[in-house]
Amino acid sequence: MQRTIAIAAALSVLAFSAGLARAEESCESSGKAMPKSQIEAMLKKEGYTKIREIREHSGCYEAKGFDKNGKRFELEINASTGKISKAE
Q: What is the pLDDT of residue 57?
A: 83
**pTM (2 d.p.):** 0.65
pLDDT for 39-85, tens place per residue?
999 999 999 989 999 999 888 999 999 998 999 999 999 998 999 98
pLDDT for 2-39, tens place per residue?
666 545 455 454 444 444 444 445 676 667 889 999 99
Number of domains in the chain: 1
Domain that holds residue 25: 2-87
- pLDDT at residue 88 tops 90: no
d(CA 15, CA 55): 29
The sign one gets for the Cα dihedral 29, 33, 62, 43 is negative
